[in-house]
Amino acid sequence: MVLDPDKRQISFPRLKYPILRDVEPKTAQQWLAGKQIQDGAEGLWRIHDNIYDLTDFIASHPGGPQWLEFTKGTDITEAFETHHINAGVAEALLPKYFIKKATTPRNSPFTFNEDGFYKTLKAKVAVELKNVPKDIRKKSDNVTDLLLICFVTASPFCCWLWTKNLIYGAASTLFLGILLSSLTISAHNYFHRSDSWRMYLYNLSGFSYADWRISHAMSHHLHTNTANDIELSMLEPFLLYLPRTDKPIWAQMAAFYYPVIFIFVSLGEMLKNIAAGLLSLDGKKLSWDNAIPFVTPIWMWWASGMYLPWTIAVWLATMMSCSFFFTVFGLTAGHHSHNNFFEGDVPREDFIDWGIHQLDTIVERVEYAGNHFKSLTRFGDHALHHLFPTLDHAELKYLYPTLLEHCEKYETQLRMNTFYDALISKSKQLIRKRPNNFREKKVARQIMKYPGI
């Protein structure tokens, strides 16, 4: 593929199209490599229009060194603004590491104005967090630990059931897959934050927490549904969520065959990660945590005494079941509704407040809102999670009054639907070819609020 450095985004034509977005194989490391080319960070770290050398701060970074190691050479403005809630703490450290002013404009449509939606909301949330119970995060820890204990106990028992009754064995494998998907999603709560042993539980499903810190936390969370959202590009060409006028009929038919793809997502990711590490693609290296998925079949075989090939078959069936439920809950979490903004749609403005953009890309599932267990194990409270990714899921429900009041002030809204509506809407997005016009929707909202215009 011939790279075109002058290609522009559709929704934000003033901005460069991610230069490596359509190059195969698509990896988290490749996404970072593309940003290093286009972000104007000059091999260091860019925040807004300043260049900083954070090399001496890596080892003492409160969130762990990995965040800064991964992002060297890129623009980390969105990550900096959204991962530090208490105003002034992180900002006070920056002058020490300042190098120079950036020589190129940011290749991002997002603004963080002091009087804008997100910065003012963040200030309110920082105050509201003081009223949240101090030990509330232990609630998530307890749920995650309980899920781990249940999975460790149930996995060899599942193998034993297969030796007694095929129907019981099949049913227990399905249950084990659901249990593993819940544990994996719970572990997702931890890799967004400072390093914790619980973040490694994410790898039990075949995924890599380290790669997902890039593809999910740094790409999808910060550049949601834009051309820079690698979670959309990695699903292509099997699932084409972007509204393209030239979307082929076979891609639109994915609205009906997507469950087949969901089954193989985690296994495909595991094999791709191992292959990329062995081949050193885009600088990726294998590490000990890549072996975590294989702990499960070894434990199942040792504890159950089942014939090894059959144990591997049960493990693979469990992984496929987990992959299906994980992907279903992930792709109905709120971002894949046909009413949301995607690259190819018309945005409200050429340069838009980051927080308002997040709400334009999310339709929250109402039955999960405020329910801690569902939030933790089903990607619930998703709008608040996106706006404040370093908060624990147990803290999010306390912030709804502040968010809803703030939305009303800034003429936007937190949209909601049910899980089943989200499932249908996701299918409609796979079919959708025509762009949504959020600029027209913004005008319509203003006319409704100010009928005299």
For the segment 309-355, what is each residue's pLDDT rounded down to a tens digit?
A: 999 999 999 999 999 999 999 999 999 999 999 999 999 999 999 99
Q: What is the pLDDT at residue 389?
A: 96
Is position 256 within any domain? yes
Model confidence at 448: pLDDT above 60: no
Query: Does residue 217 form part of some domain?
Result: yes
Check pLDDT > 90 for residue 449: no
The answer to whether the Cα torsion of 405, 406, 412, 413 is positive or negative is negative
pLDDT of residue 204: 97
**How many domains does one find in the chain?**
1
**For residue 188, what pLDDT is reported?**
97
DSSP for residue 399: G
Asked whether residue 45 is assigned to any structural domain, the reply reads: no
Contact call for residues 224 and 354 (beta carbons, < 8 A): no
User: Per the domain annotation, does 310 fall within a domain?
Assistant: yes
Question: What pLDDT does 451 receive?
Answer: 41
How do residues 344-372 score in pLDDT, each as one tens digit?
999 999 999 999 999 999 999 999 988 99
> At a CB cut-off of 8 Å and minimum separation 6, what does 320 contact?
177, 263, 264, 266, 267
- Over pLDDT 70: what percentage of the chain? 97
User: Element (H or E) spanning 364, and its range?
Assistant: strand 363-365
The pLDDT assigned to 442 comes to 57
Give the span between the Cα atoms of 64 and 54, in whole angstroms. Answer: 13
Taking the C-alpha atoms of residue 255 and residue 338, their distance in angstroms, rounded to an integer, is 12
Give the pLDDT of residue 404: 95
pTM over 0.85: yes
pLDDT at 422: 96
- CA dist 70 and 217 (Å) reads 12
- pLDDT for residue 385: 97
Residue 79 domain-assigned (yes or no): no
Which of these, 105, 110, 90, 92, lies nearest to 41 by C-alpha position? 105
Question: Does residue 179 fall inside a structural domain?
Answer: yes
Domain-embedded: residue 359: yes
Task: Grade residue 431 by pLDDT with cuts at 50, 70 and 90.
Answer: very high
Asked if residue 8 is part of any domain, the answer here is: no
Q: What's the rounded mean pLDDT across residues 417-439?
A: 96
| Structural domain containing residue 216 | 112-453
In this prediction, residue 288 carries a pLDDT of 93
pLDDT of residue 4: 85
pLDDT over 90 at 411, yes or no = no
What pLDDT is attached to residue 453?
33
